[in-house]
């Protein structure tokens, strides 16, 4: 089963949804702003992506600036906690297929794991 972490207001996320619909395999959509990831789920997602919390943060979001998240001394745990508390910080869209995951920026990243 494919899982798409999705924000319907985001054009890249809508493009990823269309790609999955065209692909024809079953998938589930998680609107992560309505159903935020907890720390365990976020850690599992990071492992599948092979990325750090900083690498999946949207650094242009207002919360990123307000919370001082650009500070290089912040630990991975502090960044994970920030994403859990402020899900808008999570880059989107993200597709998960088994033990693989990809951020859909560019969309070809998701196509590559299908």
Q: Which residues are catalytic?
A: 10
**pLDDT above 70 covers what percent of the chain?**
100
Segment 67-93 mean pLDDT: 98
Q: Do the Cβ atoms of 11 and 17 come closer than 8 Å?
A: no
Q: In the CATH hierarchy, which fold is given to the domain comprising 2-113?
A: Glutaredoxin (3.40.30)
Chain mean position to CA 35:
12
pLDDT tens digit string along 9-56?
999 999 999 999 999 989 999 999 999 999 999 999 999 999 999 999
| Residue 2 pLDDT | 97
User: Which segments of the chain are extended strands (E)?
Assistant: 2-6, 27-31, 94-97, 100-103
Per-residue confidence band for 96, with pLDDT thresholds at 50, 70 and 90 = very high
* Cβ-count burial 73-99 (b if 16+ within 10 Å, e if not): ebeeeebbebbbebbebbbbbbbbbee
């Amino acid at each position: 089963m494919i899982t798409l972490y999705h924000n319907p207001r985001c054009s890249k996320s809508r493009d990823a949804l269309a790609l999955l619909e065209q692909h024809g395999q079953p998938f589930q959509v998680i609107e992560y702003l309505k159903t935020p990831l907890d720390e365990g789920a976020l850690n599992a997602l990071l492992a599948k992506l092979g990325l750090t919390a900083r690498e999946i943060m949207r650094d242009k979001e207002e919360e990123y600036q307000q919370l001082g998240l650009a500070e290089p001394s912040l630990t991975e745990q502090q960044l994970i906690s920030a994403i859990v508390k402020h899900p808008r910080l999570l880059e989107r869209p993200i597709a998960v297929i088994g033990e693989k995951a990809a951020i859909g920026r560019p969309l070809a990243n998701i196509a590559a794991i299908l």
